[in-house]
Amino acid sequence: MVKGFSESEVKNETPLKDSKNKKKGLAAFLKGKKFTYTLPGKKQINIFGSIVLGLNLLLVILVILYLNNDEFHDFVFKVGR
């Protein structure tokens, strides 16, 4: 006998309950609606990618300024109070 399988047959005599209950709330609102998801286009991917890369570059520049420039370091502490 293979592990995980039973030789005896399982008999399920109980009928399943009717799953057509009335839907409530958000499910009732979305019942007749059809939503489709479309993948973003090449232009939209390029825009979001440029924004993410630009913000990451800005963060790296600010960290380098914070670590190397004492005036910027003091400015951050004064504004942070």
Distance (Å, rounded) from C-alpha 72 to C-alpha 60? 14
pTM above 0.85, yes or no: no
Query: Which of 45, 42, 63 has the alpha carbon at shortest distance from 53?
Result: 45
Residue ranges per domain, the chain? Answer: 38-80
pLDDT tops 70 at residue 5 = no
Distance (Å, rounded) from C-alpha 49 to C-alpha 52? 5
**Per-residue pLDDT at 13:** 65
Per-residue pLDDT tens over the stretch 10-42: 666 666 665 566 767 777 777 777 777 788 899
**Per-residue pLDDT at 17:** 60
**Per-residue pLDDT at 3:** 62
